[in-house]
Amino acid sequence: MVQAKKALAKKTKTRKARAVSSARSNDYQNFIGGRWVSSRLGEILIRDKEKYTADMTREMGKVLKEAGGDVQEAIDCTYYTAGEGRRLHGFTTPAEMPNKFAMCVRQPVGLCGLITPWNFPMAIPSWKLIPALVCGNTVVIKPAEATPLSTYNLVRACEEAGIPPGVVNLVTGYGETVGAGITNHPALRLVSFTGSTDTGRVVASACAERNAICSLEMGGKNAIIVMDDADIDNAVEGAVWGAFGTSGQRCTASSRLVVHKKVYKQFAKKLVERTRALRVGNGADPKTEVGPVINEDAVHKIMSYIDIGEHEDAATLACGGQRLTKGDYAHGYFIEPTVFTDVAPHTRIAQEEIFGPVTSVIPANSLDEAIEITNGVRYGLSAAIYTQDVNRAFHAMEETYTGIFYVNSSTIGAEVHLPFGGTKGTGNGHREAGTQVLDMLSDLMIPISIDSI
């Protein structure tokens, strides 16, 4: 990291080259077993949690409570994964020949490139970085251009925890230059990417060209199904936080609410009431419930989707829909939490990832129709159902093609010991977190035969 810090001062090209070479010059074999990810790192993150939280809110706007949760995720990830360093199991098995001993062990992949988005600026880097270290790898990490500080804080904590220089290398910069430099670099054996599906496709192509391992976590268009037997207040609560938490800028955001016709009116009315009451403002104010969106580009994108919803898609704008510009709002990127009702499932606002405080209520006549609507998008990250009927819940769970599924709970809320990831346009089959991430970050199944005479 000392090298990486020096490297930061250099121009992009030199910076990349130096970071890669400083990582490569370290013998990663020495780091097997999680020796460098001790609970010491967790202690440092706990000690400085408040500062990291404030930094994050200042950096990207999410409300303090959520920023604290983001830092906590890094803490949880550190403690959980450090323990996994003692459980990097392989296996032994009988061999065909009597004089052979067969076993499989895990080996580090080598130098890993980690590319992360801005919406979970410490949690997502930690999800990649910590298990990569526990598996004995070295890393080059590039945070999103909007959120270098939170990742810098994490990397500095690694340094303080005693992880040797050169093992963790931070580079900052834009995706098309620094990001592409990572995906194209021949020394990087693996690239772990989280971001939009369009960028993920570019990353995957670059990795395919040079046969690098590539793990992708991408966009979502997640649905909550609300059945006619649901606890409506509970469903509304889940929808509000799923749709408007982190100002809707979550890969797991509840951007579609597929509601049974029998409870549709009641649900929509309560949802609009709850949404109108949300307090939008500065994330650093503890009373704020919904913070700003990330930047001016995001405002334009989200406002253009609101326009598409009203006109092209002919949906009903039930509440919100405006950029807030008066008073203090003039200094930021604030958009009213927005609900569209009577949304047809094939329209753009019901198909495309808006990544802002906008959700679409879609009517359905039956459970099977609701499941069909839920599945009818290019993404497959998270889905949920609100129902009192266990058979309906299991039916929906089995028929919904997503990586994550909830019953009577919103589409959000990952846990570090559970595998996280999606299907279709959301992922390419890998999972993060849990023990599953270790399979991606280590070369599994290396059979060794010993001629034991």
Which residue in 220, 245, 321, 380 binds ligand NAD (CB under 6 A)? 220
- Single out the segment in contact with ligand NAD by CB under 6 A; choices: 100-108, 137-145, 270-278, 322-330: 137-145
Selection from 71, 150, 141, 154 nearest residue 118 by Cα: 150
Could you give the CA distance from residue 64 to residue 66 in angstroms, rounded to a whole number? Answer: 5
If one asks whether residue 410 binds ligand NAD (CB under 6 A), the answer comes out as no
The correct pick among 202, 272, 284, 407 for binding ligand NAD (CB under 6 A) is 202
Q: Which residues is 341 bridged to in the sheet? A: 316
Q: Which of 251, 289, 319, 353 is catalytic?
A: 251
The pairing of beta strand 213-217 with beta strand 316-319:
unpaired
Among 214, 218, 299, 335, the residue binding ligand NAD under the rule CB under 6 A is 218
Among 137, 153, 172, 199, binds ligand NAD (CB under 6 A): 199
Among 17, 24, 104, 145, binds ligand NAD (CB under 6 A): 145
Residue 217 known to be catalytic: yes
Of 66, 73, 217, 289, which is the active-site residue? Answer: 217
Query: What is the SS3 assignment for 203?
Result: helix
Q: Which two tokens stand for residue 85?
A: 């360093």
Q: Indicate the pairing of strand 316-319 with strand 338-341.
A: antiparallel
Cβ(36)–Cβ(112) below 8 Å: no
Q: Which of 183, 246, 247, 347 binds ligand NAD (CB under 6 A)?
A: 183
- Smallest distance, ligand NAD to C-beta of residue 347, A: 19
| # residues near ligand NAD by CB under 6 A | 32
Residue nearest to ligand NAD (CB): 175
Residues between 358 and 397 with contacts to ligand NAD, criterion CB under 6 A: 381
* C-alpha to C-alpha distance for 183 and 205, rounded to whole angstroms: 9
**Among 359, 363, 287, residue whose Cα is nearest residue 320:** 359
Nearer to ligand NAD, 120 or 340 (CB): 120
Tell me the backbone φ, ψ of residue 102, rounded to 5 degrees.
Answer: -115, 135
251 is catalytic: yes
Does 169 help bind ligand NAD (rule: CB under 6 A)?
Answer: no
Written as one string, the DSSP assignment of 313-357 is S--EEEE---EE-SGGGGGS-EE--EEEES--TTSHHHHS---SS
Q: Which is nearer to ligand NAD, 217 or 336 (CB)?
A: 217
Who contacts 352 (Cβ-Cβ below 8 Å, separation ≥6)? Answer: 221, 305
Considering the complex, state which of residue 73 and residue 228 has its C-beta at the smaller distance from ligand NAD.
73
- When binding is defined by CB under 6 A, the residue of 57, 81, 116, 400 that contacts ligand NAD is 116
30-38, 113-121, 311-319, 441-449 -> range binding ligand NAD (CB under 6 A): 113-121
SS3 359: strand
- Do residues 57 and 69 touch, judged by C-beta distance below 8 A? no
- Give catalytic residues, as residue numbers: 217, 251
Interface positions with ligand NAD (CB under 6 A): 115-120, 124, 142, 144-145, 174-176, 179-180, 183, 194-196, 199, 202-203, 217-220, 251, 353, 355, 381, 422, 426
